[in-house]
Structure 1
Amino acid sequence: MGSDTSWLTIFMVFSSLLSTISGASDSHDPDALDALFHSFANQTLAKHHTGTLNKVPLPSNFSSIEVSAVRLRSGSLWRRGANLSFVQIPPRVRTLPYVKRLAIVYDNMGNLSSKFYQVPGFSLVSPVIGFNVYDYSNLTTLSDERITLSIVSEPISIHFPYVDAEDKNVTELKCVRFGAGGSVEFENMTERNVCVTGKSGHFSVVTSSMAEEKRRIWKWWVMGFVAGIIGLVLLIVAGVIICGMRRRMKIKTMEKESDKAVALDTFWVGGDKMPSASMTRTQPVLEHDYVP
């Protein structure tokens, strides 16, 4: 009966998410998505050993999302921490409340990030990466209860290797944490591609939409200026080439006309060379024979 209920929950959540993805671009339901990950992780963890990070298979519609799950003992988490792909949990971390066993569900939203997570006035420049911690004291079923982590020494670090902001200064980027109920928390980014936190949740890197728009306009202006300079240079080069071609054509025409003309003899007058006709074309003839 419990298994049937679990699959019914998955079906209902999956149907809701399909309508979300196929609907408007601004519609999103991250809580329903977390419930889907929880359900599939529950099925996966029952088949694997403690301490191993296992990939959670998802329906083909969510193939671009990476989900993994691992179950741990609290003592192991305290001594060794946990490595969840792009999420690094350091040693000396406690769970609140204390549980003997726990499970961590990790997800990388990939190119579906903006479908479920949005920040008004900001643009996502990285995928949304998140993790949730659940009680797993009952080795047969993953509890719905989320557990809070208590950091004693170093904070948890989230690495974003795919930040689409290589041309931006670190000060222009913000770390954002998406909490329960749609809450959003901002933190300054002190190191490129890395955000730190002491809580579970979902995280991303954002930049101001206004700054992004100004940057885009500035790029268009620079590109337009460069294109204008290149166009002007090409126009000048084309003009010089055309003028040269016309001049050569004019010289060729003159040479052809010169070849068709009658060649004149020349003679020297002082120090100058002057043309001279070698013969008279028309002999003079008197109009009348009568000479008075």
Structure 2
Amino acid sequence: MLLMGSDRSWLIIFMVFSSLLSLISGGSDSHDPEALDALFHYYANQTLAKHRTGTLYKIPLPSNFSGMEVSVIRLRSGSLWARGSNSSFIKIPPRVRAFPHVKRLAIVYENLGEWSSKYYQIPGYTLVSPVVGFNVYDFSNATTLSDRKVTLSTTSDPISIHFPYIEAEDKNVTELKCVKFGAGGSVEFKNMTARNVCVTGKAGHFSVVIPSMPEKKVRIWKWWVIGFVSATVGLVLLISVAAIIFILLRRLKMKAMEKASDNAENLDTFWVRGDKMPSASMIRTQPVLEHDYVP
């Protein structure tokens, strides 16, 4: 059953506020990409109602979505064919057709930034760039943005995706893969055509990924770290114990020397040409002849 225009508007509003509530409450549906697209669609409609055709406008988002960058532009199909459309990250070349054909259309450009891995994940791979993308909607009404998506078809140059940064400067470039996230959780891999650039022929969401480190290697790496830390702590403890023992033995030796000095007999002193010399104060043993006979 087809929904009328007002029914669709209510459906979009319901999805928007459902996504907002789920984000605030931290529910399991808080990272639903379709709910996020519905949210962007809603705010794009609000933005286009206040601006004119042919200019790219930044869409203001709620503070809950700080870090995301979303913009929208309204175009005539003829203008898209003649000049294409560019945003900060996505370059749509001229000679691009819209299917089904519409008189006017709107393009919503997205950069999810630090939120990327919360909405898009691939088992066995790690995102090394933000997820950027775009959706094209029918705007034939000229007053309300339709929720019907439009497909683009390139006849010459492909659409290029320029990623703002890639967090894999120390990785092998051949391991980097472009990935397109499609409807229903589908994923499509491609090789990169240039540094930080991927190409596509359709709308969607895109990122750069690299194979994740196998779990076995991760465990070995963790054990190496644990072993190194344990050895370092053990060495520090051993040195500390040795230092304490050395100090204690030295103190015991000093005490023994002091005790021996206290028990010994004190000697008098006298000066000889500026030098202080010890001198016995008395003769303890009197000289005795071995024989009483005197010749």
The Cα RMSD (Å) is 3.5
Equivalent pairs counted in the alignment come to 268
CA distance in 2, matches of 1:216, 1:192: 28
CA distance in 1, matches of 2:187, 2:88: 23
**Alignment-mate amino acid for residue 279 of structure 1:** R
Match of 1:9 among 8, 11, 25: 11
- SS of structure 1 residue aligned to 2:34: helix
Unaligned runs of 5+ in 1: 266-275, 281-292
CA distance in 2, matches of 1:144, 1:10: 8
CA contact (8 A) 1:78 1:92 kept: yes
Paired residue for 1:140?
A: 143
Paired residue for 1:259?
A: 261
CA distance in 2, matches of 1:191, 1:236: 55
- SS of structure 1 residue aligned to 2:202: coil
Following superposition of structure 1 onto structure 2, how do residues 140-179 of structure 1 map, counting pairs within 5 Å?
Answer: 140-161=143-164, 163-179=166-182
CA distance in 1, matches of 2:135, 2:183: 11
- SS of structure 2 residue aligned to 1:67: strand
CA contact (8 A) 2:129 2:167 kept: yes
Q: CA deviation at 1:260?
A: 0.8
**Alignment-mate amino acid for residue 164 of structure 2:** P
Paired residue for 1:188?
A: 191
Q: Residue deviations 1:89-130, cap 9 Å, x none?
A: 344434344445331111223444445433344444443322
Match of 2:51 among 38, 48, 53: 48
Give me the TM-score of the superposition, normalised by structure 2.
Answer: 0.72
CA distance in 1, matches of 2:228, 2:193: 35
Match of 2:38 among 30, 35, 40: 35
The question of 1:127 aligning with 2:119 is answered no
Q: Residue deviations 1:28-84, cap 9 Å, x none?
A: 543343233223212211211223221223344444433210122445434543332
CA distance in 1, matches of 2:63, 2:194: 35
- SS of structure 2 residue aligned to 1:199: coil
Unaligned runs of 5+ in 2: 268-279, 286-295
Following superposition of structure 1 onto structure 2, how do residues 79-94 of structure 1 map, counting pairs within 5 Å?
Answer: 79-94=82-97
CA contact (8 A) 1:105 1:131 kept: yes
Moved more, 158-167 or 129-138: 158-167
CA contact (8 A) 2:16 2:42 kept: no
CA distance 1:194–1:152, shift in 2 (3 Å)? same
**Alignment-mate amino acid for residue 117 of structure 1:** Y
Following superposition of structure 1 onto structure 2, how do residues 111-122 of structure 1 map, counting pairs within 5 Å?
Answer: 111-122=114-125
Give me the TM-score of the superposition, normalised by structure 1.
Answer: 0.73
